[in-house]
Amino acid sequence: MPSGSEAVRLTEVSRQSGIHFRHEVDIGQFLAGRDDGHLTKWFESISASVSVVDINGDGWPDIFFPSQKPSAKSRLYINNRDGTFREAAEEYGLADLDGPTRVAFFDCDNSGKPAALVFNHQSAVLYTRGSRGKYRVHQILDTGSGEFTGGVNVLDLNGDGLLDVVVADSGLADLPNSMVDSDGGKSVEAFRGVGGCHFVRDDSILPANKPSHTHAIGVGDLRGRARQDLWIASDFGDDKVFLDEGGKYRDGSDRIGRTLSNTGMTAEIAHLEPFKNPVVFVGHAYQPGYFVGGNALWTYENGRFIDAARRLGVDRCGWTWGAKFADLNNDGLLDLVSINGFISRTSSGAPEGYWFKFATIVSGPRFLSGQSSEWPPFLAQSRFTEPQRGCVFMNTGSGFVDVAEQIDFDPHRHEGRGLAVIDFMNDGRLGLVAANQDQPPDLYRNDTPRRGGWIGFKLVGIKSNRDAIGAAVSLTLDDGRVLRRDNYPFNGYASQSDERIHFGLGRRRPTKVSIRWPSGIQESFAAPAPGRYYTVVEGHGPTKEAR
Amino acid sequence: MSPSVTFAVPTWKDVRIWLALVYGVFVFHALTFVGFGRTWPQLLASVAAGGFFDFVFNKWKYDRWIFPMSGMLSAVGPFLMIDSVRLGYFVLIAFLAVGSKFFFRWNGRHVFNPNTFGMLVAAIAFSGGMTPNPDRWGGSFEWTLIVFVSGAAIAWKADRWATAVSYYWSFFVGCLIRSAITGAPVLVYAGVMIGPMFQLICFFLITDPKTSPRDRRWQVAFGAAVALLDNLFRFYEMRLSIYIALSAATLLYAVVDNYTGDARASDPWREKELTLAYDA
């Protein structure tokens, strides 16, 4: 079975692909004179995100990068179908979005045209396509005060065929006053789609929940009950899990086991063999001498969420932000990629020492650690450590092996944040795109030699939401194995991934495809020939090849 | 010659009984407060290992059977103070802590505070797998008070309150000096004094009667010396400052004691029933 560095090759090609974007930051207007050096460093360390969307419907995924600096341009890169991109943000009216931090593209009215839900640090604005093809303001969502964008996900919460939105700001308007039990943050909120691309806040869907500094919201069938449970990854406080009880949610956080990493930055979810239920990968900092817990990999067993990260070898990888599962070498096993980055925002020439000073500060009482005015002034000019390399955990079938160094992944040691999966060559070899804080992005082309087969599906809902978000696809192989992928492109951290369902096959052939649509409709059909993407319309099987 | 058999069951007069009750409260918090990140297996591994090594070393070195309460209690300290997801580190620290009592001895007593020694050696050798972490108490002022009050009572009972007071004031003076040098607000440095971990260190490590002075004047000097070294190491951002400072101070005191005979004045180290001292 192919695995390890010899089996995967990721080449960073952003510039040669025509991507010349650089993420920029300016939050002076939000701080209103409160900036004492620490606030900027902390608050504005989380805005680099990336969205992969087929915005023109040509079957080739495009890329959108928001830039948080209000005067800077966000960039939309249209796929030229030859490995290069052309910039078209102005053409689509997406260049000037007033300090965007996260952008979720989805079909809110099942029209076939994705709307853009744009978050900045203070509000959420829904843009829809006008008659001339440009995006224009459609609705401003009532997200309350809005305090620094955190987790966002899109799904059909109530099964009515319209997509809904769950959002939880990181609530960093004031500094967290405890490393493990901060009083600050914001509660998770639900916005229900009511048709015509309008959303209303609905506090009856989610349970009342304590505010938290949320970074990511993951969706998955965590208990194997054909439900859409929510994992809330929060920093400075415990993660939460909301269990879907048929459109209504209850707090199931007491089922989360105990580890040193009950907090985190990422909520990436996937079906991983041999686990019966999907696993939740929650990224966390790992720094010898200070934070030794590292990442968590939660799996639901016997009514409890158990951390299996250490057992599988994915617990240690610096300060993990964006992370995605993807079968990079098409061997039928999901691999895991994470990108790292500190929150230094300081040149590498600055002295180290942030860890020690920071640890000293948070050793005190919360009324002191929550006041940055009591922090040493020179701390803001310190950096945590040298830039870190991300991790490429290759799945060996019995665990994971990090091959990042062998394959020279993350050659620029950028401060990674959002990470998305994208097959921009449409060749079945999954690439990656990383949004980096205050830095240019990275685009990884997958140049892995063809070792295994693959097959992919673009799902189109009819009774379900058109994006088929929430669909579960099972692929039976000729050896009896059943692979499973769920369509939640907003999982992970600060990213939207290629919405197409992708299966690596190894040397096996697929025999049967089964789809459980969000509407509840189940359909099965004989697997078509591998090596292509197929469009599957709800209730009609694979109607045509996507390319 | 038949081996001596000493099997002392602790009584209510034993300081360790009260220490165990206090620890019980802390352990309950650590196991029920999610942010603390502690588990029952960690507690059991710590206590079992501490007791086991204490029992075995006593039998091996002194050919006596004991109820290993000191070893078990010793192990609770690292359980509360150490972050690790690997049970083996808790066992290792228990081995180092208890072992140090038997292998690093001078003038009939052990030199280092066992837990300080165990945590320091393990934290240096395995910084990627375990580390002392003061954040787990969540910056709780309530727990600061609880640890302070209970710790002060224990220190009073053990007649080491002068050491604690000296360390407190000397540390604060050190913070003032650091503040004057760097220009940072004094609370940047002194804030840790209002954290639960500081109280744990002050009342449950530094005031260990077996490795700290008996005489009041020496207690004051000892507390000041620890604070001086601690501040110095913190100034240079040494990660394990208090553990290094305390280990250095106990070693220094052993040298002083060699000439003054302070610790041996009441011969507390040679009490056969081992009921007075605690090692947390």
Q: Do the chains contact at B123 and A179, CB–CB below 8 Å?
A: no
Q: Do the chains contact at B139 and A177, CB–CB below 8 Å?
A: yes
Q: Do the chains contact at A363 and B195, CB–CB below 8 Å?
A: yes
Task: Flag whether pLDDT at B280 surpasses 80.
Answer: no
In chain B, what is the greatest distance between 2 CA atoms, to the nearest angstrom? 68
Q: Do the chains contact at A293 and B37, CB–CB below 8 Å?
A: yes
Rounded distance between C-alpha atoms, residue A337 and residue B195, angstroms: 38
Q: What mean pLDDT comes out for the span A112-119?
A: 94
Query: Kind of pairing, strands A75-79 and A501-506?
Result: unpaired
Task: State the smallest CA–CA distance between residue B253 and chain A in angstroms.
Answer: 28
Contact A410, A442 (CB under 8 A): yes
Neighbours of B228 (CB within 10 A): 18
pLDDT at B135: 80
Task: State the smallest CA–CA distance between residue B208 and chain A in angstroms.
Answer: 23
Q: How many CB pairs under 8 A join A and B?
A: 131
What single DSSP character describes residue A501? Answer: E
> pTM for this structure?
0.93
**Both tokens of residue A138?**
């459609």
Which of B134, B184, B191 lies nearest to residue A368, judging by beta carbons?
A: B191
Rounded distance between C-alpha atoms, residue B222 and residue B213, angstroms: 7
Contact B93, B101 (CB under 8 A): no
Query: For residue A356, which residues of chain B lie inside 8 Å, CB to CB?
Result: 237, 239
Query: For residue B193, which residues of chain A lie inside 8 Å, CB to CB?
Result: 364
Residue of chain B minimizing CA distance to A356: B237
Q: Do the chains contact at B184 and A359, CB–CB below 8 Å?
A: no
Q: What's the whole-number average pLDDT of chain B?
A: 87
Rounded distance between C-alpha atoms, residue A376 and residue A141, angstroms: 38
Q: Do the chains contact at A238 and B35, CB–CB below 8 Å?
A: yes
pLDDT at B279: 41
- B190-206 pLDDT, tens digit per residue, is 999 998 999 999 999 99
Task: List CB contacts of A529: < 8 A, sequence separation 6 or more.
Answer: none
**What is the DSSP secondary-structure string of A145-204?**
T--S--EEEEE-SSSSSS-EEEEE---TTS--S-SSS-S-SB--EEEEEEETTEEEE-TT
Interfacial B residues in 40-99 facing A (CB < 8 Å): 83-86
- B85-120 pLDDT, tens digit per residue, is 899 999 999 999 999 999 998 888 889 999 999 999
Q: Which residue has the higher pLDDT, A143 or A443?
A: A443
Query: For residue B83, which residues of chain A lie inside 8 Å, CB to CB?
Result: 260, 291-293
Instruction: List the one residue out of A5, A103, A102, A14 whose CA is nearest residue A432.
Output: A14
Which of A289, A362, A364 lies nearest to residue B239, judging by beta carbons?
A: A289
Determine which of A38, A175, A179, A234 to mutate to test the interface with B (most B C-beta atoms within 10 Å): A179
- Stated as kind and residue range, the H or E segment containing A77 is strand A75-79
Rounded distance between C-alpha atoms, residue A198 and residue A191, angstroms: 9
Residue of chain A minimizing CA distance to B139: A365
Q: Do the chains contact at A364 and B192, CB–CB below 8 Å?
A: yes
Q: Do the chains contact at A178 and B139, CB–CB below 8 Å?
A: yes
Task: State the smallest CA–CA distance between residue B196 and chain A in angstroms.
Answer: 8
Instruction: List the one residue out of A427, A132, A472 whose CA is nearest residue A271.
Output: A472
Task: State the smallest CA–CA distance between residue A223 and chain B in angstroms.
Answer: 22
Task: Flag whether pLDDT at A78 surpasses 50.
Answer: yes
- A234-292 pLDDT, tens digit per residue, is 988 899 999 999 889 999 999 999 888 788 899 999 999 889 999 999 999 898 888 89
Task: State the smallest CA–CA distance between residue A225 and chain B in angstroms.
Answer: 27
Q: Do the chains contact at A288 and B136, CB–CB below 8 Å?
A: no
Which of B135, B182, B193 lies nearest to residue A179, judging by beta carbons?
A: B135
- A375-386 pLDDT, tens digit per residue, is 777 777 777 767
Task: State the smallest CA–CA distance between residue A213 and chain B in angstroms.
Answer: 14
Query: For residue B237, which residues of chain A lie inside 8 Å, CB to CB?
Result: 353, 356-357
Query: For residue A290, which residues of chain B lie inside 8 Å, CB to CB?
Result: 131, 133, 239
Q: What's the whole-number average pLDDT of chain A?
A: 90
**How much is the ipTM here?**
0.86
pLDDT at A148: 67
pLDDT at B275: 37
Of A44-48, A73-77, A321-325, A437-441, the poorest mean pLDDT is in A44-48
Task: Flag whether pLDDT at A349 surpasses 80.
Answer: no
Task: Flag whether pLDDT at A106 surpasses 90.
Answer: yes
Residue of chain B minimizing CA distance to A181: B138
Which of B34, B127, B193 lies nearest to residue A289, judging by beta carbons?
A: B127
Q: Which residue has the higher pLDDT, A181 or B163?
A: B163
Rounded distance between C-alpha atoms, residue A338 and residue B19, angstroms: 46
Helix axes B69-81, B40-62, angle to 10 degrees: 140
Of A61-75, A438-452, B255-269, the poorest mean pLDDT is in B255-269
**Burial, A547: exposed, middle or buried (Cβ in 10 Å; 0-12, 13-18, 19+)?**
middle
- A50-59 pLDDT, tens digit per residue, is 999 999 999 9
pLDDT at A1: 41
